[in-house]
């Protein structure tokens, strides 16, 4: 540019030496246009191929995912259940981000499970770690190629604590032994003692009761003011072992209560007493309660009946009321009168034994 500005003949000289003719100029322009057209064609081919693929996917019969909430959504080729749910904006737990570590994305396949390959690799290891029940899978690892229906087992905001729960504790109907224990005379205890003294006695009481439950294969489910609820057979291979273990637990509770009364003999106007109710039957068992403070417990008719039986210990002035069903499953052959009582919300009466002492269990 500097030379051209100083020498007016320079540009004309360059053009003469380049031997450019009108014909060569047209050819250069043609090749330039062809290059631009080829470039645009390649870009269009890429976008067109993408649109063609999407069109084929839309018009191809994709497998469908049915969610427990009622939503039905297509599963793209190779997509996991977790990816499908997120693509559709359905909240689902996945604390580890879908790496098969936390197990919070666990689901039960309610339909179509027979068409899925069995768990393998990371999924199989994670499910084995939590003792997964049949039909349980990890949404982050499950990639269906056929229609399936699923039910999430944990809340969308589940954390590490929920992820550590063993399989089957998310909520299922199962046979379980329910034990209710209540301290007698706690009202008068509160009237005659300072609040700190009452708290000390109650804490010692619950300590003895929880020790007895743990030592006899029970699970301390929850406390109920001056009493507690325990579950037996929760982790047993055979839930029918629960009633016998519950009776052993009742014996251990009374032994622990005797030791506590001996230690507190100078602080109590009368020895502490308890009433125990035991029942065996079907209940919904699982992790329940607020998301950040859930407990493993049970709900249902069996629980209500066990609570009713514990209340009957006051009416019959006895230490234990054991339902007929629980006694039979425990293998007891009792030489005692069989009583009958109604249970609120239950059409049939419950049959039970009112016992002054806890019978020995054989085996």
Tell me the pLDDT tens digit for each residue of 101-125: 999 999 999 999 999 999 999 999 9
Mean local confidence (pLDDT), 145-161: 88
pLDDT at 187 over 70: no
Mean per-residue pLDDT of the chain: 87
Residue 289's pLDDT is 74
Residue 94's pLDDT is 93
Q: Tell me the per-residue pLDDT of 10-65, one tens digit each, with 9 for 90 and over.
A: 666 766 666 666 777 677 778 888 888 888 888 888 888 777 776 766 666 789 99
pLDDT at 147 over 70: yes
How far apart CA 141 and CA 363 sit, in angstroms, is 45
Pick the CATH number of 172-355 from 3.30.70.1230, 3.30.300.30, 3.50.50.60, 2.70.170.10: 3.30.70.1230
| Burial of 172 from C-beta contacts in 10 A (0-12 / 13-18 / 19+) | middle
Burial 155-164 (b: 16+ CB within 10 A, else e): beebeeebbe
Distance of CA 174 to the CA centre of its chain: 15
Name the pLDDT band for 2 (thresholds 50, 70, 90): low
| Token pair recorded at residue 44 | 């269009």
Global pTM value: 0.66
Other Cβ atoms closer than 10 A to 358 = 21
Ranges of CATH 3.10.20.30 domains, the chain: 64-163
Name the pLDDT band for 4 (thresholds 50, 70, 90): low
In percent, the amount of the chain with pLDDT more than 90 equals: 55
| Token pair recorded at residue 319 | 């230490």
Q: Give the residue from 263, 252, 256 showing the smallest Cα distance to 200.
A: 263
Q: Tell me the per-residue pLDDT of 195-218, one tens digit each, with 9 for 90 and over.
A: 888 888 889 999 999 999 999 999
The C-alpha R_g of the chain, in whole angstroms, comes to: 37
How far apart CA 354 and CA 349 sit, in angstroms, is 15
CATH 3.10.20.30 fits 64-163, yes or no: yes
Other Cβ atoms closer than 10 A to 327 = 23
| Token pair recorded at residue 338 | 């069989």
pLDDT at 8 over 80: no
User: Any residues with CB less than 8 A from the CB of 332 and at least 6 apart, and which?
Assistant: 247, 322, 359, 361
Residue 191's pLDDT is 66
Which ranges in 94-147 belong to alpha helices (H)?
121-129
How far apart CA 361 and CA 249 sit, in angstroms, is 11
CB 247 within 8 Å of CB 322: yes
DSSP letters, 249-292, are HHHHHHHHHHHHHHHTTTT-SS--EEEEEEEEEEEEEEEESSTT
| Token pair recorded at residue 26 | 């047209």
Comparison of pLDDT for 361 and 288, the residue scoring more: 361
Q: Tell me the per-residue pLDDT of 322-348, one tens digit each, with 9 for 90 and over.
A: 999 999 999 998 888 999 999 887 778
Backbone dihedral angles phi then psi of residue 68, each to the nearest 5 degrees: -60, -25
| 106 membership: H or E segment, kind and range | strand 106-111
How far apart CA 136 and CA 169 sit, in angstroms, is 12
Place of tokens 């399989």: 167
Ranges of CATH 3.30.70.1230 domains, the chain: 172-355
- Which of 131-135, 169-173, 219-223, 313-317 is the most confident on average? 313-317
Place of tokens 């109710």: 277
């Amino acid at each position: 540019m500097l030379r051209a500005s100083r020498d007016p003949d320079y540009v004309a000289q360059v053009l003469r030496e380049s031997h450019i003719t009108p014909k060569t100029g047209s050819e250069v322009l043609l090749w330039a246009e062809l290059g631009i057209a080829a470039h645009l064609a390649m870009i269009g081919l890429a976008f067109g191929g993408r649109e063609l693929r999407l069109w084929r996917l839309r018009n191809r019969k994709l497998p469908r995912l049915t969610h427990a909430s009622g939503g039905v959504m297509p599963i793209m080729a190779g997509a996991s259940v977790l990816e499908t749910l997120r693509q559709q904006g359905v909240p689902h737990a996945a604390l580890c981000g879908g790496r098969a570590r936390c197990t919070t994305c666990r689901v039960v396949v309610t339909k179509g499970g027979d068409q899925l390959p069995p768990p393998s690799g990371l999924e199989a290891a994670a499910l084995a770690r939590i003792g997964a029940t049949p039909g349980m899978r990890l949404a982050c690892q499950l990639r269906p190629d056929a229609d399936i229906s699923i039910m999430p087992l944990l809340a969308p905001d589940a954390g590490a604590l929920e992820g550590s729960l063993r399989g089957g504790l998310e909520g299922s109907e199962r046979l379980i032994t329910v034990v209710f224990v209540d301290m007698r005379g706690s009202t008068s205890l509160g009237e005659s003692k300072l609040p700190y003294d009452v708290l000390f006695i109650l804490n010692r009481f619950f300590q003895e009761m929880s020790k007895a439950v743990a030592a006899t294969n029970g699970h301390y489910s929850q406390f109920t003011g001056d009493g507690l609820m325990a579950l037996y057979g929760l982790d047993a291979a055979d839930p029918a072992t629960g009633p016998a273990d519950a009776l052993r637990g009742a014996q251990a509770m009374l032994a622990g209560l005797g030791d506590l009364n001996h230690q507190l003999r100078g602080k109590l106007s009368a020895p502490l007493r308890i009433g125990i109710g035991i029942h065996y039957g079907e209940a919904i068992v699982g992790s329940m309660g607020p998301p950040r403070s859930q407990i493993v417990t049970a709900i249902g008719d069996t629980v209500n009946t066990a609570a009713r039986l514990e209340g009957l210990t006051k009416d019959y002035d006895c230490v234990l009321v054991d339902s007929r069903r629980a006694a039979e499953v425990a293998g007891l052959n009792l030489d005692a009168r069989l009583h009958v009582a109604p249970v609120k919300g239950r059409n049939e009466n419950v049959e039970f034994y009112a016992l002054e002492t806890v019978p020995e269990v054989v085996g």
